[in-house]
């Protein structure tokens, strides 16, 4: 069994076909007729552009317009004035088009590779793809055709480039395994769009397999099994069938409103960690973003992201959601989330220490940068600002005052933003829960962070296995806390959502309906399943179950009751 990154969910069993898109050989000649060589290069760029447009057009149907844009992006990269100028400069000094272009690509790829964020590093893979395709055009080498692989193929490659993916006939490909690539790599995005199970970053995979070998791809757990036993094949075939039939059943909920069995509408959003994830939320039919964990932007960098970098990221998420709500949480640093360049001191009790809004309000210069970026991005969609780890009214007042100050600043600079932008509180501490009625007068909305609410309510470190038996949102204390928060928000007439894991728990959903939760924010892949569970409960049925659950004294009793009533 080999472990990699779960790039695209699902299970596949099939026969390996190794894909290697090698760079064509060419002779590095010295050029005397440089004008003719430049024309040859320009003709190759034109041919590349035409071919790529055609591939993107063909891909639109299989992977959707958004994802097909990845290939269109290759044209932009190739025709970038910098790239063009450097290549032509080398040709003018007598280097042949192939060598000139290859060295330009290597230089750009090297630069992108050094970036701290995965999105920019991804460009190095894109440049590699462009390089091989352009060299093939320049040398007259035919394109590799993976559209002809037989049904039941497991594609194995060092990396699956966007142009290779364009040729995939999805009915024939049972799975994909690559040696490189992460969750947000283009190969992962395209595999998900094609709904082909994929495991990425399996070190040395190409050398471990041979054509025709049987392989299992488990894209849910990020595992692949080479030369599996008959038992393993049967096990994974069964998993595959169950996965596909469950998925097919959920498809009836796609494009539908999220409503309870008696027709009450709630919002169903997705959680994201970067702007790219928003595309997955949209593709999975999420109705908005209920939690953008911005700390990932900070964690993936080597210094504080600038206002412009943050603005671009927030704007991209807002634009992807096309006017639907995008709730962006300000930096939730500390606790288990370390950002080395911030130089936070080691604390004995980091979860109870200098973190989240506490840190931000004492580091106003960097908080101002984030809030300004959020305000500017609010001109491009329905962005809402969410403040993490609120424990007292002062904190939400201070953030609102800061936002007001920044609005005046932007007014003076004539920069557009949403003047009615909402500032909400993440409710994840017992203190916030106990004063939910007071906070509801100050915050424009609530979102319950049950991951932390459970940890703080039960005084149990969410990462400590020894006390994990206490870490459950079925505990009567946590249930009462959730009910209190939701009721306080509803009494004050503000929206109340939930963005912790509990929002997607099918056993808990009836209780949340009964308490009056207005918005569920879950991982993109849980959207349809959550909509399906919500549709199975009427308010009256949910109330009956909630009354029973709230009368119970222990977590075990609650868990048993909820399991016995699962739908
Ligand atoms: C969603 C939450 O935040 P985190 O990013 O800490 O999981 C939560 O605490 O429920």
Instruction: Give the 3-state secondary structure of residue 129.
Output: helix
Report the nearest atom of ligand 1 relative to the CA of 448.
10
Q: How far is the CA of 302 from the centre of ligand 1 (A)?
A: 23
Structure token digits, residue 91: 């040709």
**pLDDT over 70 (residue 443):** yes
Specify the pLDDT at position 287: 98
**ipTM entry:** 0.99
The pTM of this model reads 0.70
Each residue's pLDDT tens digit, 210-226: 999 999 999 998 999 99
Binding residues for phosphoenolpyruvate: 293, 329, 451-452, 462
Q: Mean pLDDT across the stretch 459-466?
A: 83
Residue 262: what are its φ and ψ, rounded to 5°?
-100, 20
Residue % of the chain over a pLDDT of 70 = 99
Please report which confidence band the pLDDT of residue 66 belongs to, taking 50, 70 and 90 as the band edges: low
Residue 37: half-sphere exposure toward Cβ, Cα within 13 Å:
22
Q: What is the mean pLDDT of residues 36-57?
A: 92
Please state the atom number of ligand 1 nearest to the C-alpha of residue 388: 3
pLDDT, position 116: 60
Question: Is residue 70 pLDDT above 90, yes or no?
Answer: no
- How far apart CA 115 and CA 371 sit, in angstroms, is 24
What is the CATH architecture assignment of 22-139? Orthogonal Bundle (1.10)
CATH 3.20.20.60 fits 265-537, yes or no: yes
Q: Where in the chain is the domain with CATH 3.20.20.60?
A: 265-537
> What backbone phi and psi angles, to 5 degrees, belong to 385?
-100, 130
Residues of the chain with CATH 3.50.30.10: 146-232
CATH for 146-232 (3.40.50.620, 3.40.50.1820, 3.50.30.10, 3.30.70.20): 3.50.30.10
Q: What is the mean pLDDT of residues 28-43?
A: 95
Confidence at residue 117, expressed as pLDDT on a 0 to 100 scale: 61
Distance from the CA of 332 to the center of ligand 1, in angstroms? Answer: 9
Question: Start-end ranges of CATH 1.10.274.10 in the chain?
Answer: 22-139
Query: What does the pLDDT average to over 116-129?
Result: 77
Residue 73 in this model has a pLDDT that exceeds 80: yes
Q: Which pLDDT score is estimated for 462?
A: 79
Residues within a 6 A CB radius of ligand 1: 291, 293, 332, 428, 449-452, 499-500
The mean of the pLDDT values for the chain is 92
Q: Whose CA is nearest to atom 4 of ligand 1?
A: 451
* 160 pLDDT above the threshold of 90: no
* Dihedral over alpha carbons 10, 14, 15, 18 (to 10 degrees): -10
- Residue 186, both tokens: 């283009």
Other beta carbons within 10 angstroms of residue 61's beta carbon come to 9
Please say if the pLDDT value at position 61 is more than 90: no
Ligand 1 atom showing the smallest separation from residue 293 Cα:
5
Binding residues for Mg(2+): 428, 452
> Of 216-220, 285-289, 335-339, 403-407, which range is least confident?
335-339
Residues in Cβ contact with 242 at an 8 Å cutoff, skipping those fewer than 6 apart: none
> Mean pLDDT, to the nearest integer, of 358-362?
97
pLDDT over 80 at 119, yes or no: no
Work out the pLDDT band at 340, boundaries 50, 70, 90: confident
* Residue from 289, 426, 496 to probe ligand 1 pocket by mutation (most atoms less than 8 Å from CB): 426
Q: What is the pLDDT of residue 409?
A: 98
Write phi, then psi, for 395 (nearest 5 degrees). -65, -45
CB 433 within 8 A of CB 485: yes
39 vs 336: which has the higher pLDDT = 39
List residues forming the annotated binding site: 293, 329, 428, 451-452, 462
Asked if residue 472 has pLDDT above 90, the reply is: yes
- Catalytic residue ranges: 186, 499
- The residue among 146 and 78 whose pLDDT is bigger is 78
Query: Which residue minimizes the CA distance to atom 5 of ligand 1?
Result: 293
Q: What is the pLDDT of residues 546-557, one digit of tens each?
A: 999 999 999 999
Which residue, judged by its Cα, is nearest atom 7 of ligand 1?
451
Residue-level length of the chain: 567
């Amino acid at each position: 069994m080999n472990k990699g990154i779960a790039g695209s969910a699902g299970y596949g069993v099939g026969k390996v076909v190794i894909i290697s898109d090698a760079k064509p050989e060419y002779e590095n000649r010295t050029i005397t007729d440089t004008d003719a060589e430049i024309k040859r290069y320009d003709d190759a760029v034109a041919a590349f552009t035409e071919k790529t447009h055609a591939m993107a057009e063909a891909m639109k149907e299989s992977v959707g317009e958004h994802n097909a844009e990845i290939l269109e992006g290759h044209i932009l990269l190739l025709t970038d004035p910098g790239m063009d100028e450097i290549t032509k400069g080398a040709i003018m000094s007598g280097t042949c088009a192939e060598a000139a272009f290859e060295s330009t690509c290597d230089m750009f790829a090297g630069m992108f590779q050094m970036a701290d964020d995965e999105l920019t590093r991804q460009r190095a893979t894109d440049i590699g793809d462009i390089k091989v395709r352009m060299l093939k055009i320049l040398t007259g080498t035919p394109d590799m055709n993976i559209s002809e692989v037989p049904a039941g193929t497991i594609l194995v490659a060092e990396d699956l480039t966007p142009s290779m993916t364009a040729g995939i006939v999805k009915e024939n490909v049972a799975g994909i395994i690559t040696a490189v690539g992460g969750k947000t790599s283009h190969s992962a995005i395209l595999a998900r769009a094609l709904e082909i199970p994929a495991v990425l970053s399996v070190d040395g995979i190409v050398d471990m397999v041979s054509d025709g070998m049987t392989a299992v791809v488990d894209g849910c757990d990020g595992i692949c099994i080479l030369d599996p036993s008959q038992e393993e094949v049967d096990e994974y075939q069964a998993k595959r069938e169950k996965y596909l039939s469950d998925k097919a059943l959920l498809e009836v909920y796609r494009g539908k409103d999220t409503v309870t069995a008696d027709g009450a509408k709630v919002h169903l959003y997705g959680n994201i960690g970067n702007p790219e994830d928003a595309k997955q939320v949209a593709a999975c039919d999420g109705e908005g973003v209920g939690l953008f964990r911005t700390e990932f932007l900070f964690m993936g960098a080597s210094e504080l992201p600038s206002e412009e970098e943050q603005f671009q990221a927030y704007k991209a998420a807002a634009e992807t959601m096309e006017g639907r709500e995008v709730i962006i949480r300000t930096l939730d640093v500390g606790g288990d989330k370390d950002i080395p360049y911030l130089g936070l001191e080691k604390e004995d009790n980091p979860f109870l220490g200098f973190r989240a809004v506490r840190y931000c309000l004492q580091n106003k210069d960097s908080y101002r940068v984030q809030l300004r970026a959020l305000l500017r991005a609010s001109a491009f969609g329905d962005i809402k600002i969410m403040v993490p780890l609120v424990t007292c009214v002062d904190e939400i007042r201070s953030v609102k005052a800061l936002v007001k100050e920044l609005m005046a600043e932007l007014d003076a600079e004539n920069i557009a933003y949403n003047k009615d932008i909402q500032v909400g509180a993440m409710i994840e501490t017992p203190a916030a829960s106990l004063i939910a009625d007071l906070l509801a007068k100050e915050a424009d909305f609530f979102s319950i962070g049950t991951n932390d609410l459970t940890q703080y309510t039960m005084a149990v470190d969410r990462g400590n296995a020894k006390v994990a038996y206490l870490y459950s949102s079925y505990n009567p204390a946590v249930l009462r806390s959730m009910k209190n928060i939701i009721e306080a928000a509803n009494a004050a007439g503000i929206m109340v959502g939930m963005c912790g894991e509990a929002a997607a728990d099918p056993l808990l959903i009836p209780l949340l309906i009964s308490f009056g939760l207005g918005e569920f924010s879950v991982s993109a892949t849980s959207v349809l399943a959550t909509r399906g569970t919500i549709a199975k409960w009427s308010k009256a049925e949910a109330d009956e179950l909630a009354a029973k659950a709230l009368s119970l004294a222990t977590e075990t009793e609650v868990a048993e009751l909820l399991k016995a009533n699962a739908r």
